[in-house]
Structure 1
Amino acid sequence: MSSKQTLKGKTIAILATDGVEQIELTDPQEALEKAGAEVHLISLEMGEIQGMRHDSIGDKLTVNKPIHNARAENYDGLVLPGGVANPDTMRTNAACVDFVRDFFKQGKPVAAICHGPWMLVEADVVQDRKVTSWPSLRTDLKNAGANWVDEACVCDGGLVTSRNPDDLEIFCKKAVEEFAEGIHAAQTA
């Protein structure tokens, strides 16, 4: 199967809000679409969210569906981009946390980069998992039971994590592979 057809027929959710590190959303989105997936940007409400380019204002990004209308069972995988404000806001929203947890309950692959793993901590899904993240999340992840490592990309039973935008190439490649593979028996909440 060619890389263009790897994700044909699959729909992937990207969960993000204002303050998202733009490249951590747009690079995975582009890789997923290039592999044939339909990609939906899920956020707190309809409209647009504000992307960031580190500490500079980025582009406005169009939301496809509000979180209150999104269900994990309608998606084949989930991407959690970083940016400090993005996951910090979403982890206080019960619907966002439940959405993330439901992917694990259903054994579906999840890919989180940079500060995105904060959502995994809040969803209580990292116990005994090997993960990586932006270095400042190390203690939070360890306290949640994760085995945190400083590596460019880590995959543990359908959970893909990476540290920062410098890791995007390998992160996107591994996320596409895991989404193509589908359900993982080891991926449980």
Structure 2
Amino acid sequence: MRFVKRTGPGTRLKGKVVAIIAANEFEDIELLYPFVRLSEEGAEVIIIPVKKGLHPRPADPSKPVTGRYGTPIPLEVFGLGERYVVKELAEVSPDDIDALIIPGGFSPDALRIDESVLDFVKRVYEKGKIVAAICHGPQVLISAGLVKGKRVTAYRAVKDDLINAGATYVDEPAVRDGNIITARVPDDLPEFCQLIIQALLEKP
């Protein structure tokens, strides 16, 4: 599926491709806000659902990957192919994207024990692409071995995990260290997205 060509003032990220990866019980706003904000700037967004983790209630493997507050993937209120497309993990190459975003919620618990996800995250990072995680999302970065020696932040429940993995934890809304961007909670989404946009604009 191809994206619909759009015109308008939001063109700073035209030509950039951002992927958002999520398993069941992701934090809805931490997926929706970056999707809308980066799309507004002209980026093409790929959402990658991973059918792992807690099943949407009631448990049914045939149901779509769903957020804590009921947001399904595909997103019912946004036209598929208009501002985003949905792809399986195996269909996305790190070469095809400029940034990867990992929302929080309970989704990271499932993503961090999926070897295919960890391999993908590591390859995105190694290619110098932006890897951004918010709230519990940095748990995936820990399991991928990407936080040692890095300045990072996260939801405070993840603080000790980050320190034990060799990171320097800082209590700031959003932090960038190289091509890793992290943030604490939904209230920090504006700062999180500003850092992502800034990082993408630096890339030719």
Instruction: Tell me if TM exceeds 0.5.
Output: yes
For 1:148, which of 153, 169, 176 is the aligned residue? Answer: 169
Residues 64, 73 of structure 2: 8 Å contact kept? yes
For 1:25, which of 27, 31, 49 is the aligned residue? Answer: 31
Same amino acid, percent of matched pairs? 39
Report runs of 4+ in structure 1 exceeding 4 Å deviation.
Answer: none
Which residue number in structure 1 is paired with residue 143 of structure 2? 122
Residues 76, 109 of structure 1: 8 Å contact kept? yes
Ranges in structure 2 where 5+ consecutive residues have no aligned partner:
1-7, 52-61, 75-84
For 1:136, which of 134, 157, 161 is the aligned residue? Answer: 157
Residues 125, 179 of structure 2: 8 Å contact kept? no
Which residue number in structure 2 is paired with residue 64 of structure 1? 86
Q: Give the length in aligned residue pairs.
A: 177
Deviations 1:149-168 (A, max 9, x none): 11111111121111000101
Output the TM-score relative to the length of structure 2: 0.82
Q: Which moved more, 1:168-177 or 1:60-69?
A: 60-69
Ranges in structure 1 where 5+ consecutive residues have no aligned partner:
184-189
Residues 51, 58 of structure 1: 8 Å contact kept? yes
Q: For 1:50, give the aligned amino acid.
A: T
Residues 50, 60 of structure 1: 8 Å contact kept? yes
Tell me the SS of whatever aligns to 2:72: strand
Which residue number in structure 1 is paired with residue 22 of structure 2? 16
For 1:42, which of 48, 60, 63 is the aligned residue? Answer: 48
Offset, 1:123: 0.6
Task: Supply the RMSD in Å over aligned alpha carbons.
Answer: 1.9
Output the TM-score relative to the length of structure 1: 0.88
